[in-house]
Amino acid sequence: MPSSLLRVSMKNIIDYRNGAGGNTILAHILFACNKVDTPLDTLTSPKDGHGNVHRIYKYNKTNLDAQHYNESYFDECNIVLEIKTHDWSELLKTKFSYEKWHQAYPTVENYKQFFNLKFINFDNEWQEFYENYKDPIWPVCESHADVKLLPKFIQEEITSVYEPPVVEVTKDNFVELLQKSYSDRLQYCRETHNTPLYGSKIYELGEYYFDQNFDKLKEVAELLGWSWDKTQSDTFYSWVLKMNKSYLICLDQMKEQCYNNTNKFRLDWEIAYLNTIREHIGEDSGKTI
């Protein structure tokens, strides 16, 4: 079957993760191509999280959709775009996720609803465990991080018996533990943001909010045989900027404080994120990103 026919019969998916703007980008394409005819303000409401456009699904009658593909139930579909983030755009995504989806910020009392993990100190008591447990012929392993360097049979045995101590989360260590979690996430994003998971085109969230570059959105429209209306596109994007103004101002404040080596934020997650992103991308990034 020709690929053009497949696109008509299959779902075409924009893949994204919470906060990465999948529904906003979907709605932009639909409005720019005159596939949706409804007042923009019907797409959002304060109870949905300011600027959240999940309601686009009520008006979308096309075969283009935005989904967390790894959680979707489509047997066959065509991934037309993968939305990725890193550095500042990952911070913006995090802010969007907290405000629009969770409608809350992580605290020492509620962090488990944000992080599906335990804060583990792998190296605490590791040496004592390994020295007491290992066979005399096993090689030295000074850190749990080096387990992956051991022979496979040793790795498997250690995995079956070793229970690393879990760090108790308290008000005193919460910011530090948040920084570790954000650091791991930023590192992962930096390593993978140029690598498509499903072989489709990557659209960086920063291309949308920082560069105002819609070329890849136009390519999706062209793929589907839709005409792009620049006036409609400009109107929609102006509305998006208005609805997300407070988040973008917060991002600018974060950049400024990163560059000036200050931290005037009060929420734990903001303090932790600013410390983390400063370590990852440096103070000068506040000037250029």
**pLDDT tens-place string over residues 81-135:** 999 999 999 999 999 999 888 889 999 999 888 876 566 665 667 888 898 999 9
In a shared domain, residues 62 and 12: yes
When the pLDDT of each residue in the chain is averaged and rounded to a whole number, the result is 86
Q: For residue 60, is it within any domain? A: yes
Q: For residue 183, is it within any domain? A: no
Residue 287: the pLDDT is: 42
Phi first, then psi: give them for residue 41, nearest 5 degrees: -70, -10
DSSP one-letter string for 38-105 = S-GGGG--GGG-TT--GGGGGT--SSEEEE-GGG---SSEEEEEEEE--THHHHHHHHHIIIIII-S-
In a shared domain, residues 14 and 65: yes
**259: its two tokens:** 């560059």
Q: For residue 143, is it within any domain? A: yes
In a shared domain, residues 70 and 211: yes
In a shared domain, residues 10 and 151: no
Q: Which of 243, 262, 283 is the last residue of a domain?
A: 243
Range of the domain at 131: 126-161
Contacts of 91 (CB under 8 A, 6+ apart): 251, 254, 273, 277
Number of domains in the chain: 2
Q: How many CA atoms lie within 13 A of 9 on its CB side?
A: 8
In a shared domain, residues 11 and 130: no
Q: For residue 270, is it within any domain? A: no
Q: For residue 130, is it within any domain? A: yes
In a shared domain, residues 140 and 20: no
Torsion 240-243-247-253 (CA) sign: positive
**pLDDT tens-place string over residues 3-54:** 444 444 678 999 998 888 999 999 999 999 999 989 998 888 666 556 788 8
In a shared domain, residues 27 and 70: yes
The rounded distance, in Å, linking the Cα atoms of 47 and 63 is 28
Identify the band that residue 75 occupies on the pLDDT scale cut at 50, 70 and 90: low
Q: Which of 106, 140, 161 is the last residue of a domain?
A: 161
In a shared domain, residues 150 and 209: no
**pLDDT tens-place string over residues 230-262:** 999 999 999 999 999 999 999 999 999 998 888
Identify the band that residue 284 occupies on the pLDDT scale cut at 50, 70 and 90: very low
Report percent pLDDT > 70 for the chain.
Answer: 88
In a shared domain, residues 1 and 72: yes
In a shared domain, residues 79 and 217: yes
Q: For residue 63, is it within any domain? A: yes
In a shared domain, residues 62 and 21: yes
Q: For residue 109, is it within any domain? A: no
In a shared domain, residues 4 and 77: yes
